[in-house]
A and B are shown apart, each in its own frame.
Chain A
């Protein structure tokens, strides 16, 4: 699946196994974030620009789950917006196989969104309150996959079952206000899956949900990764959920990567002060009882 918009784009080193150009099958490329910086110009009297993301590089290999963690203002959502194509980096480049994300416009971006989908934090704000679940989830099936209305509805039922909303016929007819927060977030995930993407960017998908529902959504993401070979970029301030769903994490502070590595290793042997502060801030009822394993 090569984009016709940027034939001159250099093949990123990380995507060498992404399949030869013009291969008929949809070989999954890696997503490469290459020295990306985002600066916001400040208006007003004090004219100092804000650097939200500062020279960040990483690669998401097919099937990998990467965590971006940091407190608010660390630049993690800005990165997500750039990767999803809704903002452009000031310098640096984001590539998905042969596609250079920041150079995409209307049609190219649309094609790109078939491969890369987002799940947002607020399941209350992400669904149109006037549309039924069936309508919300069938739109991408019709728009991206070109399915007929009846075929799309079959796919909606299939997707709702996949995300654990059974019986699907019953949920399909509901409006968002008739669903709980956890059910809404499952609908958002179903919509993201509708066009069979290769990468899902999940920006704090469980932080607005009750703890008793958190595990269910996290398990769903893990299962989708296993069964569909999805890659996952998981953005959160909650180190516990990052530990459960990701293999690798990057810790961001003020736009810079301060620490990166295998999730378990980083959590057990944090090097950077900021990572340690984040870990100490995790409110775990067991903290008072069991001191962390000595390293």
Chain B
């Protein structure tokens, strides 16, 4: 059974004054136990909002508007109070972008571990200071930090170390699903690749289910098994990472891939995408990428394409779906 299943999820930001913003629109997704999935998109595409919705972290003015989210078979949309807290204990955890600021500046790292372990302790669990400290040390070791870090305060640690502490804290209750929301965006390139390597390694060893949210397709393709590409609140493409790299289906994914290159190549040409994403406070007509799409046709401007199976993934594109139908039909005719 799938660990996480979302159907028709919509998230709306509804400020007291001003317009409603449709941040996530009609998202369907399924995560199998132990899968490592990437969620990629540019700023404002709704990827973090979706990550928050899946872990029940949305706060006003954002709220779910329709849709079902099942975690381990249980509908978590309606959970409140103690049952929600129980889910958060061993269900899911989230690592935020600014791990640097997620730690309490006046408390030692040890206190952070003790706090989480005590707050979510089960009956008759050993809460002796020594036990908690040993557990903290062990968690720090799993993210390649020295146990001495327990006695340090956040300001004594570098950005990369603080982000590693946040990851260790997320692991503390052995959650089944961890959402990493831009865990390396504030870090420099060398530290970024080291932190991503740690996450990849942890996921492989402890086989929790993970979602890596990032604006950087390069990072995500390198780390994950499967990638979902978001644009203007919708998932446009969902494919195994290796296949997405070899043969992207959606024109947006193709264009995104052209924005990267290898600095060591003989000739480097960086592509871009002209235009800008649509205003999500306005009703969307047709495919939201159509105004920037080189393949757009009349139907693209009128009908929003559904996310339909294609090859080993899914794509939301009229043109590509039709092309694939044609090739299937041609094969059948032979």
Instruction: Write out the residue numbers on chain A whose beta carbons fall within 8 Å of the beta carbon of B128.
Output: none
Does B280 touch A at the CB level, under 8 Å?
A: no
**What 1/0 flags go to B190-205 for Cβ under 8 Å of A?**
1111001000000000
* Bound form: Cα–Cα A183–B274 in Å: 12
* Bound form: Cα–Cα A8–B319 in Å: 70
A283 and B273 within 8 A (CB) = no
Interface residue ranges of B185-243 to A (CB < 8 Å)? 188-193, 196, 215-219, 221-222
Does A278 touch B at the CB level, under 8 Å?
A: yes
Q: Contacts A283-B193, A285-B222: A216 and B263 contacting too (C-beta < 8 A)? A: no
B193 and A281 within 8 A (CB) = yes
B42 and A287 within 8 A (CB) = no
Does A267 touch B at the CB level, under 8 Å?
A: yes
* Bound form: Cα–Cα A72–B189 in Å: 9
* Bound form: Cα–Cα A281–B196 in Å: 10
A-B contact count (CB 8 A): 113
Q: Contacts A212-B272, A244-B270: A285 and B245 contacting too (C-beta < 8 A)? A: yes
Instruction: Please tell me which one of the listed residues B196, B259, B268 contacts residue A212 in the complex, with CB atoms under 8 A apart.
Output: B259
A282 and B259 within 8 A (CB) = no
Does B306 touch A at the CB level, under 8 Å?
A: no
Does A237 touch B at the CB level, under 8 Å?
A: yes
Interface residue ranges of A206-265 to B (CB < 8 Å)? 210-216, 218-219, 237-244
Instruction: Looking at the assembled complex, report how far the CB atom of B310 sits from the nearest CB atom of chain A, in whole angstroms.
Output: 20
Instruction: Write out the residue numbers on chain A whose beta carbons fall within 8 Å of the beta carbon of B217.
Output: 211, 285
Interface residue ranges of B250-304 to A (CB < 8 Å)? 255-257, 259-266, 268, 270-274, 276
Main secondary structure of the interface of A (DSSP, over half): helix
B264 and A267 within 8 A (CB) = yes
A288 and B245 within 8 A (CB) = yes
Does B131 touch A at the CB level, under 8 Å?
A: no
Interface residue ranges of A49-104 to B (CB < 8 Å)? 71-73
B270 and A215 within 8 A (CB) = yes
User: How many residues of B are in contact with the other chain, CB < 8 A?
Assistant: 36
Instruction: Looking at the assembled complex, report how far the CB atom of B148 sits from the nearest CB atom of chain A, in whole angstroms.
Output: 18
A286 and B42 within 8 A (CB) = no
Instruction: Looking at the assembled complex, report how far the CB atom of A276 sits from the nearest CB atom of chain B, in whole angstroms.
Output: 11
Instruction: Looking at the assembled complex, report how far the CB atom of B268 sits from the nearest CB atom of chain A, in whole angstroms.
Output: 5
B190 and A279 within 8 A (CB) = no
Instruction: Write out the residue numbers on chain A whose beta carbons fall within 8 Å of the beta carbon of B259.
Output: 211-212, 214-215
B190 and A286 within 8 A (CB) = no
Closest residue of chain A to B292, judged by CB? A212
Closest residue of chain B to A269, judged by CB? B264
B272 and A214 within 8 A (CB) = yes
Instruction: Write out the residue numbers on chain A whose beta carbons fall within 8 Å of the beta carbon of B325.
Output: none
Does B43 touch A at the CB level, under 8 Å?
A: yes
* Bound form: Cα–Cα A180–B278 in Å: 11
Instruction: Write out the residue numbers on chain A whose beta carbons fall within 8 Å of the beta carbon of B262.
Output: 240, 282, 284, 286-287, 290, 292
Instruction: Please tell me which one of the listed residues B191, B218, B270 contacts residue A285 in the complex, with CB atoms under 8 A apart.
Output: B218
**What 1/0 flags go to B163-201 for Cβ under 8 Å of A?**
000000000000000000000000011111100100000
Does A181 touch B at the CB level, under 8 Å?
A: yes
Closest residue of chain B to A217, judged by CB? B272
Does A128 touch B at the CB level, under 8 Å?
A: no
Instruction: Write out the residue numbers on chain B whose beta carbons fall within 8 Å of the beta carbon of A280.
Output: 193
B257 and A267 within 8 A (CB) = no
Instruction: Looking at the assembled complex, report how far the CB atom of B36 sits from the nearest CB atom of chain A, in whole angstroms.
Output: 15
Instruction: Write out the residue numbers on chain A whose beta carbons fall within 8 Å of the beta carbon of B265.
Output: 293
* Bound form: Cα–Cα A239–B188 in Å: 12
Closest residue of chain B to A73, judged by CB? B188
Interface residue ranges of B38-78 to A (CB < 8 Å)? 42-43
A211 and B189 within 8 A (CB) = no
Q: Contacts A180-B276, A210-B42, A211-B217: A286 and B260 contacting too (C-beta < 8 A)? A: yes
Instruction: Write out the residue numbers on chain A whose beta carbons fall within 8 Å of the beta carbon of B196.
Output: 283
Instruction: Please tell me which one of the listed residues A71, A218, A277, A287 contacts residue B270 in the complex, with CB atoms under 8 A apart.
Output: A218
Instruction: Looking at the assembled complex, report how far the CB atom of A171 sits from the nearest CB atom of chain B, in whole angstroms.
Output: 13
Instruction: Write out the residue numbers on chain A whose beta carbons fall within 8 Å of the beta carbon of B266.
Output: 268, 293
B245 and A212 within 8 A (CB) = no
Q: Contacts A277-B190, A292-B262: A283 and B219 contacting too (C-beta < 8 A)? A: yes
Instruction: Looking at the assembled complex, report how far the CB atom of B322 sits from the nearest CB atom of chain A, in whole angstroms.
Output: 25
Instruction: Please tell me which one of the listed residues B42, B190, B221, B276 contacts residue A71 in the complex, with CB atoms under 8 A apart.
Output: B190
Instruction: Looking at the assembled complex, report how far the CB atom of A74 sits from the nearest CB atom of chain B, in whole angstroms.
Output: 9
Closest residue of chain A to B187, judged by CB? A72
A284 and B261 within 8 A (CB) = yes
B263 and A212 within 8 A (CB) = no
Instruction: Looking at the assembled complex, report how far the CB atom of A142 sits from the nearest CB atom of chain B, in whole angstroms.
Output: 31
A213 and B272 within 8 A (CB) = yes
List 5 A–B pairs whose Cβ atoms lie within 8 Å, in order of A's numbering: A211-B215, A240-B260, A243-B261, A283-B189, A284-B260
Lowest 3 A-B CB distances belong to which pairs?
A: A215-B272, A283-B218, A212-B273
Knowing that A243-B268, A277-B190, A285-B221 touch, tell me 13 more A-B residue pairs with CB under 8 angstroms: A71-B190, A181-B43, A218-B270, A240-B260, A267-B264, A279-B263, A279-B264, A281-B189, A281-B193, A283-B216, A285-B218, A285-B257, A287-B222
